[in-house]
Amino acid sequence: MPGRTIRVLIIDDSPLVQRIISEGLAKDPNIDVCGTASDPYHGRDQIIKLRPDVLTLDVEMPKMSGVEFLRRLMPQYPIPVVMVSSLTERGQKTTLEAMAAGAVDFVAKPKGGDLAQMIDELRTKIKIASTANVAHWKNRQYEPASGGDAGLGINKTAGQIVSKRICAIGASTGGTEALREVICGLPRTFAGTVVVQHMPVGFTKMFADRLNSLAQVVVKEAEDGDIIYDGRVLIAQGGKQMEVVRSGMGWGVRCFDAPLCCGHRPSVEQMMFSVAKNVGNKAIGAMLTGMGADGANGMKAMRDAGAHCIAQDEATCVVFGMPKEAYAKGGAESLVPLPRIAATLVNMLR
């Protein structure tokens, strides 16, 4: 985490929320709330005037939605943004749209009145966001995400061919859009794939459904007992650990309540250790953008078991933490730019 003072601008239409967030962030000596704004237009003026390092942005805003604001802001003035999201279905959908429009991460408003945990999470994510690489958004033309067979919708069904090979992917900060690019680049018959993306309870199903509407492969939120089929991607549930286990002639997933691993639930580490143990040299792996080291030892175990693994390179990562650690520990045999990862995974299976 950076030792310097991070200048933060809070954009939220509620004076009460502005005050709560400001007072909560002020307790951290490394964070300076340099200003607040009540709507995106005021926020734009404050950005130009105050030059903050990070924005916090409410998902649902008056005059202009937080998503539309991001679509206009990021190509002109790329800046790390942490969204403040509601747990409603609409809030989840809008949050994922915000991630696609350039937000680095998000925190979810608690269902009850206790905001202490959210503020603590927000402090952490602001520090991570301050290190994020968002320069690639400069002059970028926003286009809705699409895949090779976009529009197939969530009624697609995978074939019932039990996978003989398995692909394991881990991601965290910046991973929602990295995963979109990778998964939308996979062919319909690609090996069964398991994914851990750090994401809270309630968001993973909508995230999986969104990817499913864009990709050629079938994408679904993993459920305990799901079989791993070719052409199927299983996204670990928020709030549960996921492991790959033997199931008949192939493999399935076990989703269960368990303690945090490497500070996360779901954890890339726990998933990849299970792949190393139960799949061995029949697996391949990829580590995408993310803060920290979750999965580094698990990917090394996969390599030791005979699997081939890669990691996203620094230039295309939002945060070069998890890929860096995986590569440094010998888990990833090479660093690959994001636009080439899907093709590289396909070639690895050949």
Q: Which two tokens stand for residue 320?
A: 């070069």
Residues noted as catalytic: 172, 198, 294
Report the DSSP pairing between strands 166-171 and 283-287.
parallel
- Residue 281, number of CB atoms within 10 A of its CB: 13
Task: Compute the distance between CA of residue 19 and CA of residue 112 in angstroms, rounded to an integer.
Answer: 18
Q: How far is CA 5 from the centre of its chain?
A: 26
Task: Compute the distance between CA of residue 116 and CA of residue 108 in angstroms, rounded to an integer.
Answer: 12
Among 58, 59, 37, CA closest to 49: 37
DSSP letter at 290 equals: B
The Cβ-side half-sphere exposure at 97, using a 13 Å CA radius, reads: 16
Q: Which two tokens stand for residue 224?
A: 């305990």
The DSSP line for 122-167 is HHHHHHHHTT---GGGTTPPP-----TTTT--TT------B-SSEE
